Chain A
């Protein structure tokens, strides 16, 4: 039961441009959403979060947008850098519950 869906397995963007990673979810009980980034041979690392009562959270080059009515969120990276090339996981969670990971999107930023 895939409660968090990332329908694009890969995304390729030129350096300096905007990267937009999309995510859809089915569980309306999620209290918050997270984005994790994963490099090969490493565990995922937390990138940015957003509470379900917000519609936007910004941290430097990273901004996450939440559209609750559409059950959709997106991660914007501006400007994209080659070091951003990694797998990005969209995650939904609820207080004291488990986390639900999407299958990930491989972002490649080329010079």
Chain B
């Protein structure tokens, strides 16, 4: 069974631009969560989608948004990029919300 895939793996953007990251969960998994990882901050929870509905949301500004499609694939969008948005963005999928999550390799976003 294929694992969680994320595209692109690396991305360089400039301040003010917007970016869309994509995540394909493990087949059959309906829950997709997004995390931001920065040095010293661990994994900061962004949001969780289940059956196309956002069910949980972390403490990030409205510039961070996401959605989930009927095939459970998910996208995350960041608008008006700031230097502080530079981070590794991780996507994780699970059969149901919570419990064991399977992570993708992440997308490394650099904002210049």
| Interface residues, chain A, with chain B CB atoms under 8 Å away | 1, 6, 9, 32, 34, 36, 41-46, 49, 89, 93-104
CB contact list, B29-84 vs A, under 8 A:
33, 35, 40-43, 45, 48, 56, 58-59
The residue from B45, B48, B100, B106 contacting A101, defined by CB atoms under 8 A apart: B45
| Interface residues, chain B, with chain A CB atoms under 8 Å away | 4, 33, 35, 40-43, 45, 48, 56, 58-59, 90, 92, 96-106
Secondary structure class of chain A's binding surface, majority of residues: loop
Chain B contacts for A42, CB-based, 8 A:
105-106
Chain B contacts for A100, CB-based, 8 A:
45
The 8 sampled A-B contact pairs (Cβ below 8 Å) are A34-B100, A41-B105, A43-B103, A43-B106, A95-B98, A96-B96, A101-B35, A102-B42
Closest to A46 in B: B100
Additional pairs, 19, CB under 8 Å, beyond known A102-B42, A103-B42, A104-B42: A1-B59, A6-B42, A42-B105, A42-B106, A43-B103, A43-B104, A43-B105, A46-B100, A46-B101, A46-B102, A93-B98, A95-B98, A98-B58, A98-B97, A98-B98, A99-B33, A99-B45, A99-B98, A101-B42
Closest 4 CB pairs of A and B: A43-B103, A103-B42, A101-B43, A98-B56
Q: Would you give the shortest CB distance from A78 to chain B, in whole angstroms?
A: 23
Chain B contacts for A94, CB-based, 8 A:
98
**Known interface pairs A43-B105, A97-B56, A98-B33. Does A49 touch B42 (Cβ–Cβ under 8 Å)?**
no
Whole-angstrom distance between the alpha carbons of A101 and B43 in the complex? 6
Whole-angstrom distance between the alpha carbons of A65 and B11 in the complex? 40
**Known interface pairs A96-B96, A97-B97, A99-B98. Does A89 touch B43 (Cβ–Cβ under 8 Å)?**
yes
Whole-angstrom distance between the alpha carbons of A41 and B108 in the complex? 9
Q: Would you give the shortest CB distance from A74 to chain B, in whole angstroms?
A: 18
Structural contact, B92 and A43, CB atoms closer than 8 A: yes
Chain B contacts for A6, CB-based, 8 A:
42
Q: Would you give the shortest CB distance from B3 to chain A, in whole angstroms?
A: 9
Whole-angstrom distance between the alpha carbons of A63 and B93 in the complex? 25
